[in-house]
Amino acid sequence: MNTILRWSARILSIIVVGILLVFAFGEGLNLSHFTARELLLFVFFPLGFCVGMVVAWWREGLGGGITVGSLAAFYLAHRLLSSGFPRGWAFVALAVPGFLFLLYRLRIRMRA
């Protein structure tokens, strides 16, 4: 079960990072055109998501924590800088690999 969980998180992380890279660079990412608000949100999503998922390949707990922490920070920053929370389920769905990495790490620690 742990092997399936670990590889599910890894495969999904590749898919999510790929999707985020396609969106970022497919739209002609130019950080110099970002406002301060947009740049701050960009640090949490998609940058924090991608960093967390890459780190999780070597340190599941740390990487999963970075991904899930970036999700929480993104929602908090969005709430403080805008009129409300982002709508829809897409941000949480893209963070699923981070949650799976954390679950894997928790299962490994409980078994030890």
d(CA 23, CA 59): 26
Return the minimum-mean-pLDDT range out of 18-27, 58-67, 69-78, 94-103: 18-27
Per-residue pLDDT at 21? 92
Q: Tell me which residue of 44, 41, 55 sits closest to 10, measured CA to CA.
A: 55
Per-residue pLDDT at 2? 92
> Which position has the higher pLDDT, 24 or 101?
101
Q: How far is CA 31 from the centre of its chain?
A: 19
d(CA 102, CA 43): 21
Tell whether the model's pLDDT for residue 52 goes beyond 80: yes
pLDDT tens per residue across span 24-36: 888 788 888 889 9
Per-residue pLDDT at 77? 93
Identify whether the C-beta of residue 9 lies closer than 8 Å to the C-beta of residue 104: yes
Mean pLDDT (the chain, rounded)? 93
d(CA 109, CA 85): 34
Report the greatest alpha carbon distance in the chain.
49
pTM: 0.93
Identify whether the C-beta of residue 24 lies closer than 8 Å to the C-beta of residue 46: yes
